[in-house]
Structure 1
Amino acid sequence: MSDTKLWYDKGADGWKQGLPLGNGKMGAVIYGDAAREVWSLTEATYWSGKPEETPFAPRNKADLEALRNVFWSGDYAAGEDRAAALLQSEKGNFGTNMPMCDLILTFTDAIGGGVTRELDLETALYGFACEDQAGIRREALASHADGVIAGRLTSVRSGGVSFALALEGRTERFASTTDVAAGILAFAGRATETMHSDGQCGVRAEGRVQVVARGGQITAVGGRLVVEEADEAWIFVAASTDYDRVGEDWRTEGAASVERAIAKGYDKVREDHISDYRRLFGRVEVSLGDRREAMRLPTGERMSRLREGAADPGLFALFFQYGRYLTIAGSREDSALPLHLQGIWNDGEANRMAWSCDYHLDINTEMNYFPTEAANLAECHLPLLRYVERLADAGRRTARDFYAAPGWVAHVFSNAWGFTAPGWHYSWGLNVTGGLWLAEQLRVHYEYGLDDDFLRRSAYPVLKEAALFFLDYMSVHPEKGWLVTGPSNSPENSFFVGDGRERSYALSMGATLDQVLVRDLFAFCLSSADRLGTDEDLQVRLREALSLLPPLQIGAGGQLQEWLEDYGEAQPDHRHVSHLHALFPGAQVTPHDTPELAEAAKRTLANRMDAADLEDVEFTLALFAGGFARLGEGELALRQLSYLIGRLCFDNLLTYSKAGIAGAESNIFVADGNFGGAAAFAEMLMQSHGGAIHLLPALPASWHTGSIRGLRARGNAEVDLVWSDGALTSATIRAGSALQAALRYGGREIRLNLRAGETVVLDAGLLASTAH
């Protein structure tokens, strides 16, 4: 057994028990049993909808100022009515990512018994074995190196491989053709649907499935390929789309990828796949004590035992590495689009209801990339960073039309073409800092890598334009003189005004999240302009604006205020805790620097957790865990991760949003919990923010012995840790750039001053034992 394997001793009944593969472009969730196996195939750019401008009559400054005056007067009902008339957009052909097709294998001679399914995170290989008379072994991989999804079927006896292969489209417009002589199923589809677009527009796809058999024969029956009595068979799949393409070259790219892979042969494709994957996955290793007993149990049984209160530190390490695996599988440096609501996978559930498999900008898409830098996968961040640049381009028109402002803005969600307008109802659609929230990832990427070329070329220009928007858009509080946003949401929450409880409101001036994001934006642009020696006039404006931003405030109940005023919470059990961005993943609130605000944040977390009807969804539990990690509360952080893994994951460890919440009709896979949980795990072992690196800041008692190698810290450094009996044994810091930081462990703190390329090894007292 391996501590980096998900494994099961029975078949998978459906998609929600299947195991995911991905090469950054195509994804597959594989499920089934001895008699039948399904590869649920997706492609990252297979979107319904189309690029289109939001029809909107441009507004002017006077419109916006009049709207704000209504809110300043305290007439929230009239303000929301006016906002609905002025600032809502139309849905149009927004679209959604869609599942592409199912590849279905059937085995007529299978008996079953002795089934083992596994996903090996060290090699990114899926395996299935069945101890029946045929003894067929099935393996599958998604190769980024060769751009294919591939499988191999073997048997313990000669001529023991027999199966039929069919394709079923997951969209209405899908067709396949058979070339039996070549063992080919060619397919073509179009991503159309009528829930999120008009049913006529969507990305087109073409691809190929090809079977190569050693021994036996291949025939065609009713549109299926039938392999009989082969010694071994290979399956190769690839597809391409016309997303963002000019001309017709895209049509043959999938077939060409399959042909190249066949020419190499499965063994070479497998070898190159593992080498390419391990280049990223192998950067981080983690061990949480002796895990041999737990490793002997199937993953589903380990999750069940966790729900019953059993200690299983290795399951948390597995979950962390699974988050890294999903990042690599779903977001490679050349991916055309970043991870959406379901990564690059898609069970079709969100598409058939009012949900959409899109880019939500009020936590979900951001959380998909929370662990990327600390988990040492910086290259996997690049698709998101390029996408932000696209949003900035599209958001200039939105800034001009909706707010008569320079710069760019985006709101609550987006699609494959960079939708930036407000949503089609003000109660959730006027999150004016949604684009800024996502654009923070540019700053995060820079802080970890310190790449001045990236700062000059991408991060600063994009964030500078965001700053220009907010400098123009924000208004002055008529009584306190603060510079505030608004009207806008605190996603996706509502509040009561005064003692009235007959109506709650969503819009206000100066929601806490907005102020936190804007403060970080202005501070980063100021420091970046200074570092790059540019924009002196803008630096003056930013300094003045920073001095006028409102402070974080503590409410009458001791909580961190979610809004500028201490409103009553209409839904104290709400799933969103966006104002706690200041605590995690932000760092404006820390126990070390702002202890009173840290206590207020802790009170806010406690209030949410204690609410009788807490909307306990995947991203909320991940945020709870990350928040408690930042507060140094290891046991409380562990409790949240335990709940996330034990009660908000399917058996395949994919996280989900519970039925009944936000209109969900069933438990829906949402990838952000996997990534947010992985980020929280890393935060429990090492944090880097505010010019300091914190070692083992939130270590729970049950993780008393362990080690981790290769975590990445801000400032372009790598950190290795070893601990025993709950105490640090040694720490190794490798500086990729000149590193000046405070290093903290327990109650001790030292100053690190390392040259680029220098490594220091420290003991439990933070004394250097070696340096080189």
Structure 2
Amino acid sequence: MTNTHKGSSLLFSIGAAFFCFFGCQAQKDINAIWYTHPAMVWEETLPLGNGRLGMTPDSGIRTDKIVLNDITLWSGQPQDANRKDAYKYLPQIRELLIDGKNKEAEAIINKHFIAKGKGSGSGNGADVPFGCYQTLGNLYLNFDYGEKAIIEEVDYKRKLDIDSAIASCEFRINDIKYTREYYTSFDDDIAIIKLSSSKPGSISLEVGMDRQERFQTFTKDGALIMEGQLNNGTDGYGMRYKAKIVPLINGGRIQSTSNSLQIADADEVILLISMGTDYKNKDYEKLIDRELKSGLSKSIADQRKKHIENYAKLFNRVSLKLGRSANNEVPTDKRLHDFKEYNEGDDALAALFFQFGRYLSISSTRPGILPPNLQGLWAKNVQTPWNGDYHLDVNIQMNHWALEVANLSELNLPLKDLVKSMVVHGEKTAKAYYNSDGWVAHVITNVWGYTAPGEQASWGISNAGSGWLCNNLWQHYLYTNDVQYLKEIYPILKGVAQFYLDMLIKDPKTGWWVTAPSVSPENSFYLQNGEQTNICMGPTIDNQIVRELFQNVVDASTSLGIDKQFSTVLEKKLEVIPPVAVIGTDGRIMEWLRSYKEVDPQHRHISHLYALYPGNQITIGHTPDLAEAAKKTLIARGDDGPSWSIAYKMLFWARLKDGNHAFKLLSNILRPTKATNINYGAGGGVYYNLLSAGPPFQIDGNFGATAGIAEMLLQSHAGVIELLPALPDQWSEQGYYKGLKAEGGYTVDVKWEQGKVTGFMIYSSSKKSINVKVNGVVQVVETIKKG
């Protein structure tokens, strides 16, 4: 049903008042996180980052401990973890699987078909060649307030202003107001700390740095320097790093010791911090000095102004208001407690959480550098949980799901670059294990291009990783229509398609062509004899990814006018690939090719719903039976789990247009926790600094929830732009968003009241007529041209 006239009337009826609605909301600290005490643990610190450098200050009164990060700092080194003759065991493994002897197949895989050597070190890879993302170190500011000072947290406030990407703290001691300001500059590539007070000559402190291992600290020419070399897992001589601090003071004096800076009686102190590693840059020390020189050449006011301007170019693209209720004047830790206790009566907290997710994306990556890892770029340890690496069975993908719709499209490019660098390694892995052309990556990767299986069959032989990455790359094309980008990623997509084309085998029971061996990520099932295993043929996620990838390569081939012969082969193969999903006798979508019983009915992974999200092969409109089966699958899985799993379920329910259930899951994520143990079950949430807790800290929960909120407000995957597709009752009274993106490169602004769209505008680079679903009715709408 279309109604061009009705769509146009609604589109333009609000006029200038619409823009005032967007621009005239001026609530204090609406995009701020704040507290009335210093951070007691690292999980309460405020994360700062400019895409490469990170800082997390705890803003303590006597000692301010600031953890420093550089997203390129990895131990380990490039390695060949492929078993060159693994492919020789492939026929035997497949024969056992066909015969239903999965456990016997698993034994052979564990002996002959896993990674050579220590693999990822079972998640403790800091000292093996796989390596680990590591903290750069700690900066300490040890303050001296004088012998007679009464140290009390008087009028203490600690804040992260998301609008400016600046953290601060302020407090009074003996009627002197002390203020600290921290930011990782989006101007010069340095970190900056500014210390000031209300009384001249009242700032005295010692500045020091250290690290858990492999460091030396010294002073030279008035600067404090820390440097070292990480373990590469073989001879110990891995990546080099360096941090250099140059102090500037007004009044007072500076004295250098062998490993610290002593500052006394200053009116104001500014610390310029430059950091770097030799990752792809042998001149990193010269770059560190150049950045410092540039920072020293301008005033701190100018540096701060340009920092905010450059950051705002990304952050200010989107505005959001949800519902009516707001507790901005309440400290964030109390807001989190109140959110659950008072029936989620703080709609602004959800909007803040969305913008915080966008802030974390902007802060943890940028074009030309690495994508965010499991911890974004914020790590406090030498051995980060799970190596802080790139997990390919949902986690790195989830890190990028919000970027397109949240109007941060260019931040997807670092992932493209990482995937592109994996291809040459993945080609060797494809040959070694499957004797296949093309390329493959399994479950984990790092900055060194690791593509081999993991070190255990139960999780390590999933070959869906590279195919899943192709979905992320394809999404960027769908949102940008960038033909040059499509030309660049086409060989990557084709290579993975070639791998699957070569390695698929025919299942004699169904006649379908499937992957073998494989797993449904990290989930296990019972065999008829009661034994447990993960090893199978053709898990549903593999079938969905292969089907999606083949079709995308066919579409890309058509768009680019190339590779017709290869495209024809894929189209033919699509006829014998398993369907998108099969509904079991219990009404749920089957997770495996056979009707196995899962060991853990509420397992954290729900990989067999890939076609619902991030895929688009299951929709309410086009496949209602599968959508209903997906709903039953989610009900059986339950609503709890680690934070990333809750976020994924939130996205699934949003795709099923159940906004209230999606909101329930958002409420689950926004439950505070202090737990830092490694958790694979229920109990995920957020720390008091809003970073997601698996636990431990794992940033994908933040990014997944950001994508989930956007999915509740705007969907465009099913051939129509749908406004407010899963708006929960909690936000229905009123709200707006400005600047979200839809597939095709469209920018969307929407205002609503009482659950109904009352005004919207859709912009594109040229005027177009498009289908838009508004208040349940599909309308043909002409977009507004905007350069």
- Give the TM-score normalised by structure 1: 0.92
What per-residue deviation string (whole Å, max 9, x for no partner) do you get for residues 21-55 of structure 1?
A: 01111111111322221110011111110111125
Aligned runs of 1:651-730 on 2, under 5 Å?
A: 651-658=688-695, 668-704=696-732, 705-730=734-759
Alignment-mate amino acid for residue 744 of structure 2 = G
Q: How many corresponding residue pairs?
A: 729
Contact (CA 8 Å) 1:45, 1:203: kept in 2 or not? no
Distance 2:110 2:655 in 1: 38
Alignment-mate amino acid for residue 228 of structure 2 = G
2:169 counterpart residue number: 128
What per-residue deviation string (whole Å, max 9, x for no partner) do you get for residues 716-737 of structure 1?
A: 1000010012211111111236
Alignment-mate amino acid for residue 647 of structure 2 = A
2:451 counterpart residue number: 420
Of 391, 406, 411 in structure 2, the residue corresponding to residue 360 of structure 1 is 391
Distance 1:270 1:603 in 2: 52
Of 165, 171, 185 in structure 2, the residue corresponding to residue 143 of structure 1 is 185
Of 100, 118, 135 in structure 1, the residue corresponding to residue 159 of structure 2 is 118
Aligned runs of 1:614-625 on 2, under 5 Å?
A: 616-625=641-650
Contact (CA 8 Å) 1:35, 1:112: kept in 2 or not? no
Q: Residues 753 and 488 (structure 1 numbering): CA distance in 2 closer, same or farther, change over 3 Å?
A: farther
1:636 counterpart residue number: 661
1:627 counterpart residue number: 652
Q: Helix, strand or coil for the counterpart of 1:38?
A: strand
Of 123, 137, 148 in structure 2, the residue corresponding to residue 101 of structure 1 is 137
Distance 1:116 1:73 in 2: 66
2:328 counterpart residue number: 295
Of 773, 776, 779 in structure 2, the residue corresponding to residue 744 of structure 1 is 773
Shift of 1:160: 2.1
1:186 counterpart residue number: 225
Shift of 1:447: 0.4
Of 16, 23, 27 in structure 1, the residue corresponding to residue 50 of structure 2 is 23
Contact (CA 8 Å) 1:589, 1:597: kept in 2 or not? yes
Shift of 1:291: 4.5
- Does residue 1:76 correspond to 2:102, yes or no? yes
Q: Helix, strand or coil for the counterpart of 1:680?
A: helix
Alignment-mate amino acid for residue 630 of structure 1 = R
1:227 counterpart residue number: 263
Q: Residues 632 and 55 (structure 1 numbering): CA distance in 2 closer, same or farther, change over 3 Å?
A: closer
2:604 counterpart residue number: 575
1:253 counterpart residue number: 287
Shift of 1:230: 1.1
Of 506-515 and 27-36, more deviation after overlay is shown by: 27-36
1:765 counterpart residue number: none
Distance 1:145 1:518 in 2: 43
2:438 counterpart residue number: 407
- Does residue 1:307 correspond to 2:346, yes or no? no
Distance 1:289 1:702 in 2: 7
Shift of 1:183: 3.5
1:768 counterpart residue number: none
Contact (CA 8 Å) 1:655, 1:674: kept in 2 or not? yes
Distance 2:772 2:238 in 1: 52
Aligned runs of 1:246-645 on 2, under 5 Å?
A: 248-292=282-326, 294-308=327-341, 309-335=343-369, 337-348=370-381, 351=384, 355-456=386-487, 458-498=488-528, 500-501=529-530, 503-551=531-579, 552-609=581-638, 616-645=641-670
Contact (CA 8 Å) 2:642, 2:694: kept in 1 or not? yes
Q: Helix, strand or coil for the counterpart of 1:46?
A: coil
Contact (CA 8 Å) 1:70, 1:79: kept in 2 or not? yes
What per-residue deviation string (whole Å, max 9, x for no partner) do you get for residues 214-269 of structure 1?
A: 11111134622121111111111111111123xx4222221221121011121111
- Does residue 1:41 correspond to 2:68, yes or no? yes
2:112 counterpart residue number: 86
Contact (CA 8 Å) 1:239, 1:255: kept in 2 or not? no
Alignment-mate amino acid for residue 546 of structure 1 = L
Q: Helix, strand or coil for the counterpart of 2:538?
A: coil
- Does residue 1:209 correspond to 2:235, yes or no? no
Q: Residues 332 and 737 (structure 1 numbering): CA distance in 2 closer, same or farther, change over 3 Å?
A: farther
Shift of 1:480: 2.0
Distance 1:390 1:345 in 2: 23
Contact (CA 8 Å) 2:392, 2:468: kept in 1 or not? yes
Of 434-443 and 720-729, more deviation after overlay is shown by: 434-443
Shift of 1:519: 1.1
Contact (CA 8 Å) 1:587, 1:690: kept in 2 or not? yes
Alignment-mate amino acid for residue 291 of structure 2 = S
Contact (CA 8 Å) 1:136, 1:155: kept in 2 or not? yes
Contact (CA 8 Å) 2:135, 2:382: kept in 1 or not? no
Of 31, 34, 46 in structure 2, the residue corresponding to residue 4 of structure 1 is 31
Of 85, 91, 97 in structure 2, the residue corresponding to residue 65 of structure 1 is 91
Of 692-701 and 154-163, more deviation after overlay is shown by: 154-163
Alignment-mate amino acid for residue 377 of structure 2 = I
Distance 1:243 1:395 in 2: 21
Contact (CA 8 Å) 2:317, 2:739: kept in 1 or not? yes
Shift of 1:350: 5.4
Identity level (%):
35
Shift of 1:739: 5.1
Distance 2:510 2:47 in 1: 53
1:762 counterpart residue number: none
1:732 counterpart residue number: 761
Of 641-650 and 742-751, more deviation after overlay is shown by: 742-751
Alignment-mate amino acid for residue 320 of structure 2 = V
Shift of 1:751: 3.4
Alignment-mate amino acid for residue 106 of structure 2 = E
Shift of 1:738: 6.7
Distance 2:586 2:237 in 1: 51
Q: Helix, strand or coil for the counterpart of 1:646?
A: coil
Contact (CA 8 Å) 2:519, 2:535: kept in 1 or not? yes
Distance 1:290 1:212 in 2: 46
1:664 counterpart residue number: none
Alignment-mate amino acid for residue 287 of structure 1 = K
Contact (CA 8 Å) 2:619, 2:718: kept in 1 or not? no
Alignment-mate amino acid for residue 716 of structure 1 = G
Q: Residues 55 and 589 (structure 1 numbering): CA distance in 2 closer, same or farther, change over 3 Å?
A: closer
Note the residue ranges of structure 2 that are not aligned, 5 or more in a row: 1-27, 120-127, 146-150, 673-684
Contact (CA 8 Å) 1:463, 1:521: kept in 2 or not? yes
Distance 1:445 1:739 in 2: 20
Contact (CA 8 Å) 1:48, 1:201: kept in 2 or not? no
Shift of 1:163: 1.6
Contact (CA 8 Å) 1:137, 1:155: kept in 2 or not? yes
Of 673-682 and 231-240, more deviation after overlay is shown by: 231-240
Shift of 1:347: 2.1
Of 524-533 and 51-60, more deviation after overlay is shown by: 51-60
Of 725-734 and 248-257, more deviation after overlay is shown by: 248-257
Q: Helix, strand or coil for the counterpart of 1:157?
A: coil
Shift of 1:369: 0.6
Shift of 1:752: 4.4
Shift of 1:199: 7.7
The higher relative CO (CA closer than 8 Å, separation ≥ 6) is in: 2
